[in-house]
Structure 1
């Protein structure tokens, strides 16, 4: 059998935090790196999240030998609940990542498959003949993150995923520089590298963030609210340590943050005794001075239903922020989320809460992604023959290309978006568009919409939702008997157009239009052609709202047979 290797990015390129999923394929085996999700965007209202299409993997199911998880962020593991059932290969994950995966399955009330193995850093896993991988420890904003070092048909590829270099971390974890240097000396063929923070020149250490946050804690006279990503265990540990140092207690807000904290305790990353000493429930703080309170919650991106956004709207039972309190925004706004984050800040400011964030000069967050400085250091250590940027927008990936060009020892850079890379047994490297493969060309994306999976290319359902959101909806019902004779006048209700009591005049106009058009079409006594009648009534009723409300609502007509 002719040997070859393919690298197929089913997700994880072209956008940030977006359904990371990469296929590594040889002539007889496939390993999938990560199965992530992406959260809804403006053009997909109402959905839970999106995942990649597994059509290609299902078609080649006999070749799929393993799913390897680089770390426990939802854009890398969030699709497992839905995708693992379709692609039931053996799962490999580090202990902390597995704890997060288990909590995700518990939350969805889905039985966790037993076909998994807890990985160890530095151990070589033999998937098939001429196909091995090893997990190499790197730093990121979540514990036990790693890059996957492949040897496929003698080709050495390092899928480093999300990483950063931190010379002074808080968690007792460090990048395995020694192993990286060994890989670099062993003639690395290809490096797939995180491009998310390629535009940032440098990055503060977690210790820098801790020292800056301590100053805020020491100066605060009242309650402090800290907003961070739920997966940022370093920030959780930092908050607990500083709370104990400054004599405060911590209330953890949000199930996802609580689950991450539990996972960190279960895997020994956070001392259980520290949690016992410092963490309280909200109802245990009723009689405490506000100067002794810290609220640690999710909502760093201003998500509507997050703990911090709800706290800003006074929607959390038993918890309130007041004038003189402080909000510490220990995160960066992901591109596209700036408005929702700013709106949350505005709500806080109107309460008299002082917002301390990146925009007003407070250095209280360190990105978990490689800065330009980190990328240059990684390139010098690894010395790859080819570099492939991943995990960023097209602009981020091109910035990595520019960084490479600026270096004295430049190497080829391949940007693969809706493209796959193939290396044959004659060492020829080619980049092919998805359109060149019939199955890959048909591969798309799915929205998880309640209990349904809806192809994203099926935009009709999302257009309907967006239309109703913008224009409202009108419902017209009419009772008829089995012979089609009309036995009651139409009734009209609406949603999203205002108070029903204030719309009665428009309803009257609508009914007048409907009667006029029904009579003109000889259907004022009986309905013989329901489809025609439905359209006549729909157009007549809708016209009244266009003329008197300035809206073009979705209008639904229903005949009730009595």
Structure 2
């Protein structure tokens, strides 16, 4: 009887149900590695939530197998969950990534007061062995320097993971994708390709990052007053172009926004962001410099209410207030779910009267992800036997799968998975495996909690209809109902107009219930809540949250 062979298990824990929280575990026997540990930002249906993380309980349950964590690049959707993972792991695990990514991670861990783990600097051409995994790194172009793809070999077969990428022929830092390595790995054999799907619905090629520079320079050169440029703080290539355009026309660069200050500092120290120290100044030094000699680089491209751009627009920033003489460039694409927030910021700026430029009017942003033709080129170069689209919403994954089919790949060799679904590879052949527990974890302030629809429903109710508290007293001896007091917060109706009638309605209901045999405080609370809720619906057609308090005296 043939001995059963050990499979390579590919376990996506995040990144297959939206743009963000990318995380995939690879497990072979007693060895496991984790590729990326990202987060996602909440939308309007998750009030009060700060961050959304993938459920990484499977990693914690098997942490004795974990040999290392690989981070493909420094964006939040690939690094943001790392502090929480490291806090929950009982042992120190080495982290492998490029120098810039490790610098960003180190700053992130310092914010969480986590001692730096074992950092391992890797780059294009680096080879490492982690247990049964033989791993090679190769350079890719993205909207941040130091982006890497990963090629891993195991006794069960090989996997190529592209990370986020586009095939930019004229990147800002001159580091192109390592086509030679990709073709070499194809010759060795790529049993499974896992490829970025973010722009799989977009035809053609994504424009080069270098196309943005001339447009930004033209705006800065012709602006009469200050220029405020909002961008992602991790988009170092974009920040380099803003700095180059500013210094070329004789303007000083001011950096504001916590993450922008931190990331530009790290990038300059590591040599990824090049600007003369005399040309980059602190926000407190701008008083002596004319407005037409200043460019402000700030956070807030996603309309975040507490970001530097929002505070400037609202007059709450400690150093800057935007006026009609200023020019604002929003140099980013709204993350799905943030469109309303970004439009709100644009409307606020338009009311001030300043000039506003975004990607809809000028070429001030290009995507960092490859469009359909680039995704097809990656498939053509890698020549995989099996294919798994990753990093995207369901529509992106299926569009990417369709591209692979159009290129001749068999439908049964393409795996469109969901988080928690597992693929198993034996002798280079891939099939479905046994799913693992998956889902999301919410960060709410300092606490980390599982998904609870009741909490979100309550918060949405509070936000839409407000809250009403009704406090009543009932005599223990006579069962007579005493005072009934009603107070409201966040309701749309006038409390004075309904207070007396509402109090009397609740009092009569409680008196009927209290006189019944077997009535208790809990039944009285329930009657009080139902009575007032029904009354308010009939009178105001709203359903605020009703909190009943019944005291026996």
Q: How does the TM-score come out when normalised to structure 1?
A: 0.90
**Equivalent position of 1:381 in the other structure:** 381
**Equivalent position of 2:365 in the other structure:** 365
Distance 1:359 1:484 in 2: 72
In structure 2, the residue corresponding to 1:516 is in which secondary structure?
A: helix
Instruction: Call closer, same or farther: CA 1:224–1:455 in 2, change over 3 Å.
Output: same
**Equivalent position of 2:97 in the other structure:** 93
User: How far off is 1:523 after superposition?
Assistant: 6.5
Distance 2:268 2:223 in 1: 28
The within-5 A match list for 1:484-503 is 489-498=483-492, 502-503=494-495
Instruction: Call closer, same or farther: CA 1:409–1:61 in 2, change over 3 Å.
Output: closer
**Equivalent position of 1:551 in the other structure:** 542
User: How far off is 1:401 after superposition?
Assistant: 2.5
Instruction: Call closer, same or farther: CA 1:223–1:537 in 2, change over 3 Å.
Output: same
Distance 1:32 1:424 in 2: 20
Distance 1:115 1:495 in 2: 51
In structure 2, the residue corresponding to 1:446 is in which secondary structure?
A: strand
The within-5 A match list for 1:195-214 is 195-200=197-202, 201-214=204-217
Distance 1:542 1:491 in 2: 15
**Equivalent position of 1:531 in the other structure:** 522
Alpha-carbon contact 1:322-1:351 (below 8 Å) kept:
yes
Q: 2:453 matched to 1:459?
A: yes
The within-5 A match list for 1:217-366 is 217-271=220-274, 274=276, 276-360=277-361, 362-366=362-366
In structure 1, the residue corresponding to 2:205 is in which secondary structure?
A: coil
Q: Deviations over 1:231-255 (max 9, x none)?
A: 1011112112211111222232311
User: How far off is 1:488 after superposition?
Assistant: 7.0
Instruction: Call closer, same or farther: CA 1:96–1:486 in 2, change over 3 Å.
Output: farther
Distance 1:313 1:182 in 2: 54
Q: 2:62 matched to 1:71?
A: no
Q: Deviations over 1:79-119 (max 9, x none)?
A: 112122333433223222122222222223x3225344333
Give unmatched runs, 5+ long, in structure 2: none
**Equivalent position of 1:509 in the other structure:** 501
In structure 1, the residue corresponding to 2:194 is in which secondary structure?
A: strand
Give the alignment partner of residue 15 of structure 2, picking from 9, 12, 16: 12
Q: 2:471 matched to 1:472?
A: no
State which drifts further: 111-120 or 413-422: 111-120
User: How far off is 1:498 after superposition?
Assistant: 4.9
In structure 2, the residue corresponding to 1:286 is in which secondary structure?
A: helix
Alpha-carbon contact 2:465-2:492 (below 8 Å) kept:
no
In structure 2, the residue corresponding to 1:285 is in which secondary structure?
A: helix
**Equivalent position of 1:107 in the other structure:** 111
User: How far off is 1:368 after superposition?
Assistant: 0.9
Distance 2:100 2:221 in 1: 32
User: How far off is 1:120 after superposition?
Assistant: 3.7
Give unmatched runs, 5+ long, in structure 1: none
Q: How does the TM-score come out when normalised to structure 2?
A: 0.91
- Measured on the aligned residues, the alpha-carbon RMSD in Å equals 2.7
Give the alignment partner of residue 449 of structure 1, picking from 440, 444, 447: 444
Distance 1:105 1:137 in 2: 25
In structure 1, the residue corresponding to 2:48 is in which secondary structure?
A: coil
